[in-house]
Amino acid sequence: MAKVLITGGCGFIGRHVAEEMLAHGHEVRLYDAMIAQVHGDATPDLPQGAELVRGDMQDASGVRAALNGCDGVIHLAAEVGVGQSMYEIARYVGANDLGTAVLLEAMLAHPVQRIVVASSMSVYGEGYYALPDGTLLENVRRKPAEVRAGQWNAVAPDGRPLVPTATNEHKRVDLASIYALTKYAQEREVMIFGEAYDVDAVALRLFNVFGAGQALSNPYTGVLANFASRLASGERPTIFEDGEQRRDFVHVRDVARAFRLAYEKPEAAGELFNIGSGSAYTVTQVATLLAEAMNLPHLTPEITGKYRSGDIRNCFADISKARDLLGFEPKEKLENSLDEFVAWVGGEVVVDRGAEMRRHLEERRLVS
């Protein structure tokens, strides 16, 4: 079996990927900068058998040392969060895009057989929409002025209503945030490098990942963790727009399995895949389900009726390609996995920074 370097390996997804790879006989080395916004002051519990090297993705010598002796890479290291990316632009571009470039240059000195990079559903912008006659549209964009006026739903150019539809990998990208831009750049850097240097390269476009181990004190992490932090602090979850925007939530253990399959399957080379649950949920539905699971149904969501710059309305996954080529099948649905998540939240020290996040965005006129 291979020795695999997992960048960002101490993060929420990274730890689960490490466990999955170790359980299937691979050796694992983790490379992580352990930034305070994600990890606080503590080193998280790491999977038994995983080797840890601390370092920054922009430190070329550190990355080269971490690569030494590895057969492959699973590249997860990235700054995460649409909202924060819109004002900490240099930080996101540096960590995500320059960091990936440093990794690829290091791979020239330490060649590997395969690299799997974590991309994001955010690269799609709005997902597919259909006209009433079934015609698919892939270049739908909401106009900021109309959204700020409360016209939340996208419409056809002639004003006809549109139906949000599952999005597959054929949809053209439409980058609506700095975060999306950096994730697409990461994806393309890796795929271009793989083709040029005959390295098997695979990109996974992850939808909304949830599960035990998310950073509850990081307000720019996953929406479920944000809602849990608010609820555990006795506060109502905050939802932008009208709460009817739809997303795909996929369990972190399913995501970890997808990374292993993408690393192991020969037919994955040169391909990109959606990794989601294949189901769509409104954001209000998610907040309500979580409040009920936490026995806090009275803490109903605060629907702000405000637009956050960079947000899209609807995007959920068509996972047919991952099913066909990877043999990927989600095993854990959101509505059946909340009890485990809630039990984990109950054992954590929660610091709710949701109000701080909202203030930062409002001060920069990114919420209106």
Active site residues: 179
Cα distances (Å, whole numbers) of residue 314 to 125, 128, 294 = 9, 8, 27
Q: What is the DSSP letter of 123?
A: G
Backbone angles phi, psi at 208, to 5 degrees: -75, 110
Residues ≥6 apart with Cβ < 8 Å to 146: none
**Nearest alpha carbon to residue 114 among 266, 7, 324:** 266
Q: How far apart are CA 120 and CA 177, in angstroms?
A: 12
Residues ≥6 apart with Cβ < 8 Å to 357: 83, 84, 219, 220
Burial of 215 (C-beta count, 10 Å sphere; 0-12/13-18/19+)? buried
10 Å Cβ neighbour count for 208? 22
